Amino acid sequence: MLTCIPCSSLEKIFPDKAPDPARFAGFSLLQGEYGAFQIALQSDEPVTLDIQIESGLDVRLFRVDCVPVALPCRKGDDDYLRKTPGLYPDVLVPCERITLDTQVHALWFEIAAGDYAGGTYPVSVTLGDTSCTVQVTVIPAALPAQTLLCTHWLHTDCLHTWYGVEVFSEEYWRITENYVRAAVQHGVNFILTPLFTPPLDTAVGRERPTVQLVDVVKTGETYTFGFEKLRRWFGMCERCGVAAYEMSHLFTQWGAMHAPKIVATVDGETRQIFGWKTWAASKKYETFLRAFGAALRSFLQETGMLPRCYFHVSDEPSMDRIRAYARRSRLIREMFPDSPVIDALSDLAFYQRGLLRQPIPCVNHAAEFYGRVPQLWTYYCCGPEDGHYPNRLMAMPSHRNRVLGMLMYRFDVRGFLQWGLNFWYSPLSDHPVDPYNPASEEDAFPAGDACVLYPGEGGEAVVSLRFKVFREALQDQRALSLLESRIGRENVCAMLEEAGVRAFNDYPRSGEAIVSLRERINRAIAETTETKA
């Protein structure tokens, strides 16, 4: 006997527990939007089934695979699905058939509404002698373009390591473009650009593989710079639809105390000229930076890219490093006076002292910045794990991932950052790890923190369930913006307030409530569309 249970995209289906068989009938989408539903499957005997789909819409099918998790969370709050090691659903694998044992399995059906005419489209799924149908309604109103700047940090050295390709070989460029395109397809439009090897998540005295885009030649005490690789990087990203670029950090993480790893051609030989042994206050490094800054600024002006570039000083500096950060920030602001300096940091004092134009606080500090900065940006990483703040960890219910878009609309968030698009190294980049086995990450990162893209065959990116749900969150923000254009921001915010979306840690804590709220938003859009017609 085969049991099929249709579910929303916000259900996480574990192999040892079938979901509630409560009826899931369908959902609605705006034109240009992606949506999804799942079917949980359980057979009382092993069987392999072909999967047949009948629909007037564009439907893509994935199998939901589980990964072994050793560290679901460090402590967590009361809104986790589980806090124990085990198998957690996350990897989406394209498929046409599925082999079942007696455990619970899941299929993921992705719907692209495109420019289909308004109306209800049945999506009928047949597996052997069993079938079910989900109704998808397309609302004849186009989802507006994304205005949020969204970055998940792309680690190209992880691509080099996993696939064993030479940095800047044609294969390296091809694979990198695959990952940029996959990121853009899921809402990332702001790309970390490795001018030099990014000084991120690296142990003091250790190095990550060299991926710097800028060629440096040192002749005596004079530096010259080549930007052909950077030019190619821009061209690649433009083909993929990237909107803006964050230049990699020009000082080390957590306080701007050292220079990043920088290699140059010196007397015909390639060698490292700056790195951990270089104090950030070094006159030699300042001389280098000023020469580099002038050359880079000229190149960016020539190519027209300067207005779309943002600059980093140091990632997550603490208050005990604010004086060092202030000196480094002043230099970068002198080098690029018309460009925003942005950094992930959660103490308002950095902004109040004029040290950067755009602070990016963690979600559990965003309320402190709201109304005190011209634009609110935010981020999350391995924290916060508790306090009911949104995040994308595997052990969290998907509503904590999805609600972020509604919260970002409610608090007019203009930018979002997350550090791990594809970080496939151990803590502080000591050695590579297998992203398909988060249990190998040595209990440093709660599972799901370090990546939302997995490595696929042939250099293709394999997308996680969590990245799909994150895209749905960004679409929610865009749908709310559309509704605002129809009924005004005050009325939209009142709707969110009434539904319980009140603060970054105060929102409806169930997938059903989030899906229901989005349906209410869509009905309001449909009603105003009919009125306009």
Quick: pLDDT tens for 127-180: 999 999 999 999 999 999 999 999 999 999 999 999 999 999 999 999 999 999
Give the pLDDT band of residue 441 (cuts 50, 70, 90): low
Mean pLDDT on 40-46: 96
For the four alpha carbons of 312, 314, 316 and 321, in that order, the dihedral sign comes to negative
Other C-beta atoms lying within 10 Å of the C-beta of residue 293: 17
Supply the pLDDT for residue 214.
Answer: 98
Give the pLDDT band of residue 366 (cuts 50, 70, 90): very high
pLDDT tens-digit series, residues 257-297: 999 999 999 999 999 999 999 999 999 999 999 999 999 99
Architecture in CATH for domain 2-140: Sandwich (2.60)
Domain boundaries, the chain: 2-140, 189-350
Query: Distance between CA 378 and CA 217 in Å, rounded?
Result: 38
Listing DSSP states for 327-374 in one string gives HHHHHHHHHSTTS-BEEE---THHHHTTS-SEEE-BTTTHHHHTTTSS
Return the half-sphere exposure (C-beta side, CA atoms, 13 A cut-off) of residue 434: 7
Supply the pLDDT for residue 340.
Answer: 97
Q: What residues form DSSP beta bridges with 377?
A: 415
At 254, list the tokens: 């957590």
Query: Distance between CA 110 and CA 95 in Å, rounded?
Result: 12
Report field, pTM of the whole predicted structure over 0.85: yes
With 60 as the cut, is the pLDDT of residue 533 above it?
A: no
Supply the pLDDT for residue 23.
Answer: 80
Is residue 305 within a helix (H) or strand (E), and if so which, with residue range? none
